Amino acid sequence: MEVHHPHLHGEKKKIREYCLDFLMLFLAVTLGFFAEQIRENISENSQAKELAKSLYQETFSDSINMQKRLSIRQEKERQTNYFRKYVTDSDLVNLSGRFYPSFFWTCVVSSAIQFIPNDGILTQLRNSGSLRYFKNIDVQNAISRMNVATLNVRNRNNQEDAFVEDFARPFMQKYYDFDWEDDLTQHGKKSGLQGISESPTFHGAQMPFIRNVKEFDRSNAEALATHNLLLIRVTVLLDYNPYIEANHQLLEALRHAYDLN
């Protein structure tokens, strides 16, 4: 008796169906890829906007602080110029009422005139790699200029600090009447800058004097004041003004790219 095997019904898939399956899979993967890209772009743009706001606020705050420091620096320049002229040929015993305020500004006021960049956000962006979120070329260039300007300001401040430590402070320690400043600050109840700002021509209970006046070298004092004067002027010209320009350019770029006010 002949055995009949069951015939398997069902046709093989046609090549068209395979192509359709492949096309559907390809479209699904492609659409998923584009969807992920769009999601990442939206996320990065949102992060960039928030980072831009923080950077803008920090940069704008620094621009205000710079103007305050420049105002104090201008007063130091004026007072140092008076001190320089006074020690050239004026009476060193019967001192002018303006002498000690000018002595204070010339040799004591130092850190108060320095602009210290507050670049915490900028440093965080650089160290974390978040600067990649800023796609705008103008913003990227402005940030690069700001980094350079900030570094230059810090280096210049270090040079001013070195002058104070090497020249101004030793001169002050030898000739300065610290009792006058003690009266000015009300024995430490206020800062010297606050005291001199409130009383620009301050007179203490006792008449101030130049310590070791017999050893006071007019030409040395005049040279120190002149050096100090040139130092603070050059700082503004070579480092502070370029920083102000870089600050302005970064603010402009951020405003334009992210519609900030």
pLDDT given for residue 204 in this prediction? 86
* Residue 171, token pair as written in the block: 């001169």
Local confidence band at 34 (pLDDT 50, 70, 90 cut-offs):
low
Domain edges within the chain: 50-258
d(CA 139, CA 151): 18
pLDDT band, residue 16 (cuts 50/70/90): confident
- Per-residue pLDDT of 66-75, as tens digits, reads 999 999 999 9
User: In this predicted model, what pLDDT tens digit does every residue of 157-172 receive, in sequence order?
Assistant: 999 999 999 999 999 9
CB atoms within 10 A of CB 125: 19
Which amino acid, one-letter code, is at 224?
A: L
Average pLDDT over residues 10-26: 66
Distance CA 168, CA 176 (A): 11
What pLDDT shows up at residue 145? 96
Which comes out higher in pLDDT, residue 6 or 107?
107
pLDDT tens-place string over residues 51-90: 999 999 999 999 999 999 999 999 999 999 999 999 999 9
pLDDT at 261 over 50: yes
What CA dihedral angle connects 138, 141, 144 and 146, to 10 degrees? -50
What pLDDT score does 133 carry? Answer: 84
CA distance 205 to 45: 64
Could you tell me the pTM of the whole model? Answer: 0.82
d(CA 219, CA 216): 9
pLDDT given at position 44: 57
Q: What is the pLDDT of residues 191-244, one digit of tens each?
A: 999 999 999 999 888 899 999 999 999 999 999 999 999 999 999 999 999 999
Q: How confident is the model at residue 1 (pLDDT cuts 50, 70, 90)?
A: very low
Listing DSSP states for 145-158 in one string gives HHHHHHHHHHHHHH
Alpha carbons 88 and 90: distance in angstroms, whole number: 6
CA distance 169 to 174: 9
Helices 218-235 and 15-89, axial angle in degrees (round to 10): 160
The residue assigned the tokens 């620009």 is: 200
Q: How many CB atoms lie within 10 A of CB 140?
A: 15
Residues 6+ apart with CB under 8 A from 257: 52, 134, 136, 138, 139
Q: What is the pLDDT of residues 132-185, one digit of tens each?
A: 888 899 999 999 999 999 999 999 999 999 999 999 999 999 999 999 999 999
Cβ contact 254:139 at 8 Å: yes
